Amino acid sequence: MQTKIVLDESRIPTHWYNIIPDMPGPLAPVINPRNLQPVTPDDLLPIFPMAIIEQEVSGERWIPIPEEVREIYRLWRPSPLYRAHRLEQALGTPAKIYYKYEGVSPAGSHKPNTAIPQAWYNRQAGIRRLATETGAGQWGSSLALACSMFGLECTVYMVKVSCTQKPYRKSMMQLWGANVIPSPSEFTNAGRSILAHDPDSNGSLGIAISEAVEDAASRADTNYALGSVLNHVCLHQTIIGQEAREQLALAGDYPDVVIACCGGGSNFAGTAFPFLADRAAGKNVRCLAVEPASCPTLTKGIYAFDYGDTAKMAPIAMMYTLGHDFMPPGIHAGGLRYHGESPLVSQLHHAGLIEAKSYRQTACFEAAHLFARHEGIVPAPESSHAVRAAIDEAVIAKEEGKEKTILFCLSGHGQLDMVAYDAYLSGGLEDVEYPEEMIRESLAKLPKVEL
């Protein structure tokens, strides 16, 4: 039985799919946090190259992928599409379960799909150095890899507590040549002001963002790069869905439902957007974003203008949010702990064009365990949310006695997350309750934007 569909590297997509011209209405403006007015390209030029700024607002449906970027993509793309025969048998489901596996990249996740073009456009613009932040390290390691490929310097402000809790990804960044700085640091005003009040601060993603943006804004040779949320990041990830679509066609199939985990939104966007585009051609595909119950942005947040970061330095966007100072409880899927959501994904959800669902982490680890026992691959804790939802869809198909084709994105492997599996296997995994009160409090602090 065919288990995986591989494509020759000549079939790496030549264009990214830009969903902006196909959105159900105009995009809401992005707001400058300093003057509460719409952001202009000039506001962004200190930290982004013009090519990226153009992609952020482009009305072109297909944006060509530079040949130099496709050259690097060849190191792991096209990624394989698997049919989960063994999982299907274990579930006794009539459903067909396919998964697109992005863990084959050198960094082990989908993040290099956007790190590579971001590094490339910056180098083309004469930038010699990129600054970014990272929590658990998936994004930081991907940008370090990308900078190594194009000979750029890379500085990663890594949340201090993660430096000690996730030393492996820190080492990978260093091996790829990045300068990893525990945040808060003495290198920025933002870092120094935190340390002045709290010399032992463990740091947070919000602080690390502030440090990286300040670093980029204050040096002419340096720009900033972000691993999710923004339109251009979602755009770069659309190679996932495009490849999956072609691979499914080779298998003579088309999905009834497309599933991906959703933190900042780029993994979901990259997987689902190319299928959403098929709706115009009458295809009736459901798209399901899966998030943790402890950080339920789409399922429990509101659609409103909010800051992108805790420190109110990042632009204000119209999006689903739990409030910019919402601090989600600690869960192992660190990549899904963002208070906001990609504005594109948010608008589609608000328009009722996509679905969202949340799960507690134990249910996700149970699903990942079943998956690993039958399919071999150990899923990343983030990806385990998509595994859970896919299994539940397959079980529903069994109960209804219906054939159904399910596609999900296995966005990364979990070989560097075995501490989380240890906690699960030893019964020591805490299932965080939905933090209702916290969300209510943080939602009371949204900015007032009047246009």
User: Smallest distance from the beta carbon of 344 to a copy of itself, in angstroms?
Assistant: 29
User: Smallest distance from the beta carbon of 91 to a copy of itself, in angstroms?
Assistant: 16
> What does DSSP say about strands 153-159 and 257-261: parallel, antiparallel, or unpaired?
unpaired
Nearest to 56 by CA among 193, 232, 216, 243: 232
**Helix (H) or strand (E) run with residue 112 in it:** helix 112-124
Beta strands in 207-322 (DSSP E): 222-224, 257-261, 286-292, 302-307, 316-321
User: Smallest distance from the beta carbon of 141 to a copy of itself, in angstroms?
Assistant: 10
| Residue closer to a copy of itself, measured from CB, 400 or 422 | 422
Rounded CA-CA distance 158/227 in Å is: 14
| Structure-token pair, residue 413 | 């492997």
| Residue closer to a copy of itself, measured from CB, 242 or 299 | 242
User: Smallest distance from the beta carbon of 262 to a copy of itself, in angstroms?
Assistant: 25
| Residue closer to a copy of itself, measured from CB, 358 or 384 | 384
Rounded CA-CA distance 191/75 in Å is: 37
Give the chain's end-to-end CA distance (angstroms, integer): 58
| Residue closer to a copy of itself, measured from CB, 172 or 336 | 172
> What does DSSP say about strands 96-101 and 129-134: parallel, antiparallel, or unpaired?
unpaired
Rounded CA-CA distance 308/314 in Å is: 5
DSSP tag of 335? G
User: Smallest distance from the beta carbon of 174 to a copy of itself, in angstroms?
Assistant: 5
Burial call 257-285: b when 16+ CB within 10 Å, e when fewer? bbbbbbbbbbbbbbbbbbbbbeeeeeeeb
Angle at 226 between CA 364 and CA 357, to 5 degrees: 25
- Residues at the site binding a copy of itself, with contacts judged by CB under 8 A: 1-4, 6-9, 71, 74-76, 82, 86, 104-106, 108, 145, 148-149, 167-168, 171-172, 174-177, 369, 372-378, 415-416, 418-419, 421-422, 425
User: Smallest distance from the beta carbon of 230 to a copy of itself, in angstroms?
Assistant: 24
| Residue closer to a copy of itself, measured from CB, 171 or 193 | 171
| Residue closer to a copy of itself, measured from CB, 287 or 390 | 390
| Residue closer to a copy of itself, measured from CB, 6 or 220 | 6
User: Smallest distance from the beta carbon of 69 to a copy of itself, in angstroms?
Assistant: 13
